[in-house]
Structure formats: C-alpha cells, structure tokens
Amino acid sequence: MILYEHVLSSDCYKLRLMFDLLGMDYERRPVDMYPGHADQKPAFRALSPFGRLPVLQDGNLTIWDAQAALLYIAERGDASSSWTARSVEERANIQTWLQVAGGPLRAVAAARARNLFGDASSEDGLLDVITIIDDRIVEQEIHGSEWLVSDRPTIADVAVFPDIALHEDAGISLDAYCGLRRWLGAFASLPGFAPMPGVASM
C-alpha cells in the first residue's frame, strides 16, 4: 500500500501507527503540505477531493478519509481481527469513537495547526472532547479495561490516540486528566509503537 502523507500530520500518524502495530510494510510518499500547500494544487485534489491527508492507495483503490483508511488497513492486515469489531455491540462502540476522531476531536488538530503554522482555528468544544474521552477511560478502568472499547486495543484507540498524544502542541494540558495519561502510557507500550515529534514522554 502507498501512504501519501506528511510527517507532522496527526491523521497520517494514525495510519503509520496502524501499519507499525500490525507489523505491515508500506510505502511512504511525502507530500509538501507545508510550506508548499499541496492541497491547493489540482494534481493533489485529483487524489484527495477535500485536499486532505492522508491518502491511502492499494492497487486501484484510493481512500482519502483517515478513519476509512484505518479500518481498511486493519481489515487487510489483521488476520486475528483483534483490532476490529468482534460483535455487533463492539462495532457500534468502535464506530462511535471513529466518529469522535473524525468530528469533535478535529478541534484539537486545529488548535495544533494554529500554534505550529498560524492557521486560523475555532476551538469550540476543545475541552469537552478531552473531558468526555477521559470520562470514558476512567469508566472503562472500573470495568477492568484500559481501552476505549472492549478489553483490548482496537482501531478506536488508534483513531483517537494521535490528537490526544499531541496535546502539548495544541496547548492543552493533561495535568488534570489522569485517565488519558494512563491510556496514553498503555498505548505507548504496545509492541510496534513508535512516537512522532510532539508526542511527549509517556
């Protein structure tokens, strides 16, 4: 598979993590999103209609949504189906957190882009989304699990991890969110895990 990506993008990190956690090989194709603004060039728009990274290509298939690409990699590369849903209930829960990753959690990525590159951003709901994910982890811990869905890590964790792990870049302190800090620590000790710049020590 070919991953069109940028080394500093949290959504691209998500897919690199999934490949690494599954021990899969893939080809990295860097795209000059910054400072070159490849998203404003027609050639890139032909690949990614909204001008966003990552883009995943497998043969004739092109996927330009991070969550969809994440699911695709997991379904292709995970023979044991450990990272994807094993029941109807799990599928509903995983889907919920994928939607959070592609929706409310984007406020964190936007705050980060503002701090790094001076992009304009709206931070509506920034702390709400942090708080809600922290609540979820703390409840899961009471049930004896350290993961967002079920008792094992799934693509829901992979989808949410990058933006939370890059909280420092976004100017968000996790001092008060110890559930998130424990979850980040557990994630970082998964075999195959690799950090990216801006991911604080865990």
Partner 1 sequence: MSMRQTEASAWHVVGGWNHVQPGAACRVELPGAEIALWRTEAGAVHAWDNRCPHRGMRLSFGIVKGDRLACRYHGWHYDEGGQCRFIPAHPNLDPPDTLAVAQHATHEQDEAIWVALGAGPTEPPPPLGTDQPGFCRSIPLPFGADTAADVLMRLAGASPVAPRLMQVRPEIGGSNRTVTLAVQPIDETRAAMHVFLDGGPKADARLAAIRWTVGLRWQITSETGAAA
Partner 2 sequence: MTDRLDSFTRSQWIVIEDDAGIVRRAPFETLLFSIPIRVANGPDGPRIHRLDTGEALPVLRRYGYVWSALDPAPRPLFEVPEFDEAGRRFTPCGPVGVKTSALRVIENFLDLAHFPFVHPGILGTESETEVIPYRVEIRRDVDEVWAVDCGFFQPKAMAASSAGAQVEYRYRVAQPCSAVLYKTSPGRAGAFDLIGILVRPLHETACEVHAWMLMWDEESSDESLLQFQQEIFLQDRIILENQIPHLLPLSAGMEIPTRADATSIAYRRWLKNHGVIWGTCEGIPEVTA
**Least distance to partner 2 from the beta carbon of 175, Å?**
13
Distance CA 130, CA 176 (A): 11
- Residue 46: contacted member of partner 2, partner 1, none (CB under 5 to 8 Å, by partner type): none
- Residue 118: contacted member of partner 2, partner 1, none (CB under 5 to 8 Å, by partner type): partner 2
Phi/psi at 162 (5° precision): -55, -50
Q: How far is CA 21 from CA 6, 13, 87, 146, 167, in A?
A: 19, 12, 22, 17, 22
Bridge partners (DSSP) listed for residue 58 = 61
Bridge partners (DSSP) listed for residue 27 = 2
Nearest-10 Cα torsion for 132, 180, 201, 172: 30
Query: Measured at the alpha carbon of residue 129, what is the angle toward residues 183 and 127, in degrees to the nearest 5?
Result: 105
**Least distance to partner 1 from the beta carbon of 107, Å?**
12
**Least distance to partner 1 from the beta carbon of 123, Å?**
9
- Residue 117: contacted member of partner 1, partner 2, none (CB under 5 to 8 Å, by partner type): partner 2
The answer to whether 31 contacts partner 2 (rule: CB under 8 A) is yes
Give me the half-sphere count of Cα atoms (radius 13 Å) on the Cβ side of residue 1. 25
**Least distance to partner 2 from the beta carbon of 116, Å?**
6
Could you give the string, one character per residue 98-127, with x where binding to partner 1 holds by CB under 8 A and - elsewhere?
----------------------------xx
Using CB atoms within 10 A of its CB, is residue 117 exposed (0-12), middle (13-18) or buried (19+)? exposed
Element containing residue 63 per DSSP (H, E): strand 61-63
Of the pair 8, 94, the CB lying nearest partner 2 is at 8
Q: Which of residues 131-160 bind partner 1 (CB under 8 A)?
A: 131, 135, 138-139, 142-143
The answer to whether 109 contacts partner 2 (rule: CB under 8 A) is no
Determine which residue in the list 43, 175, 191, 197 makes contact with partner 1, applying CB under 8 A. Answer: 175
Binding site for partner 2 (CB under 8 A): 6-8, 29-32, 34-37, 115-118, 168-169, 171, 196-198, 200
Binding site for partner 1 (CB under 8 A): 126-128, 131, 135, 138-139, 142-143, 173-176, 178, 181-182, 185, 200-202
